[in-house]
Amino acid sequence: MTLLDRRNHHLFQPLLYQVATGGLSPANIASPLRTILKRQKNARVLFAEATDIDVANRRVVLSDGEVSYDTLIVATGAHQHYFGHDEWERVAPGLKTIEDATRIRRRVLVAFEAAERESDPDELRAWLTFVIIGGGPTGVELAGALAEIAHETFKRDFRSINPAEAQILLLQRPDRILPTYPPTLSAKAEASLARLGVTVRTGGVVTDVRPHFVSVRFGERDESIYSHTVLWTAGVQASPLGRNLATAIGAEADRAGRVVVEADLSLPDHSEIFVIGDLASFSHQTGALCRALQRWRCSRGDTWGIS
Q: Tell me whether residue 270 is exposed, middle or buried, using C-beta atoms within 10 angstroms of its C-beta: 0 to 12, 13 to 18, 19 or more.
A: middle
pTM tops 0.85, yes or no: yes
- pLDDT value of residue 180: 87
Enumerate domains of the chain plus CATH numbers: 2-78+237-306 (3.50.50.60), 86-234 (3.50.50.100)
Residues above pLDDT 70, as percent of the chain: 93
- Residues of the chain scoring pLDDT < 50: 292-307
pLDDT of residue 288: 66
Quick one: pLDDT at residue 287?
Answer: 66
3-state secondary structure of 164: helix
Give the helix/strand (H/E) hosting 251.
none
Task: Please list the residues that pair with 130 across neighbouring strands.
Answer: 168, 229
At 284 the pLDDT is 75
Residue 306: what pLDDT?
A: 32
Pick the catalytic residue from 66, 116, 118, 141. Answer: 141
**Which residues are CB-neighbours of 44 under 8 A, at least 6 positions away?**
1, 2, 3
pLDDT of residue 290: 66
141 has catalytic annotation: yes
